Structure 1
């Protein structure tokens, strides 16, 4: 099983955004820190999961994927399979399509304090762009 922690950092809402992804498989660790442009904080959280799943499709296509996010909106949208805000619908659809390619896909909400590594990566991506 691959544990995937995702987070986003946005300066302004919407504003410049970075995403962070921290993945663990046994003792191996993999990371993504990427500046993604101008988005709302919620959009950036969805994009972080999409980027993580893209990476997993290339590197771990046969793995069970367990995503952890501190975004209640994103986790609830995926768990309930319902999108209230039509802006988020394309992101939701991309995630659900990508998730189908794995043997199993899970998503779980976690408190911010348990997501510090992904948060740090997202902030690094955002601030590196500003330099």
Structure 2
């Protein structure tokens, strides 16, 4: 089973946003950063899950995936398999389609303090994109 930690960072609402993804399997840890463009914070949290599943599809197709996020709205939406928010519908549907690549995907809400690495990656990516000369 893969433990996949996702988080998003936004500057503004909506505003520039980025995602951090940490994938843990046994003793191996992989880290990824994605600049997302302009989104709301909630939309960016869904996009972080999408990017995580896309990476896992390429490297770990067929596995059991545990997505861990500090976004209650994203975790609750995926647990209930339903959203009323029309802005989330295309993101929700994309996640559902990506889930078909795995034997099982489940979602777990975690507190911020358990998601520090994904948070750090998202913030670093956002900072670098907003201030490109700081590289």
**TM-score, normalization by structure 1:** 0.98
Deviation at 1:35? 1.1
Instruction: After TM superposition, list the pairs within 5 Å mapping 1:17-96 onto structure 2.
Output: 17-96=17-96
Distance (Å, rounded) in 1 between the aligned partners of 2:34 and 2:77: 24
Q: CA RMSD in A?
A: 0.7
Deviation at 1:49? 0.3
Deviation at 1:82? 1.3
Distance (Å, rounded) in 2 between the aligned partners of 1:86 and 1:2: 30
2:12 aligns with 12
Deviation at 1:62? 2.2
Count of aligned pairs: 131
Deviation at 1:36? 1.1
Deviation at 1:84? 1.6
Distance (Å, rounded) in 2 between the aligned partners of 1:34 and 1:95: 17
Q: Does 1:127 align with 2:121?
A: no
Q: Which runs of 5+ in 2 are unaligned?
A: none
Instruction: After TM superposition, list the pairs within 5 Å mapping 1:105-120 onto structure 2.
Output: 105-120=105-120
After superposing on structure 2, the runs of 4+ consecutive aligned residues of structure 1 that deviate more than 3 Å are: none
Distance (Å, rounded) in 2 between the aligned partners of 1:81 and 1:63: 20
Deviation at 1:100? 2.1
1:100 aligns with 100
**TM-score, normalization by structure 2:** 0.95
Distance (Å, rounded) in 1 between the aligned partners of 2:54 and 2:101: 11
Distance (Å, rounded) in 2 between the aligned partners of 1:89 and 1:34: 21
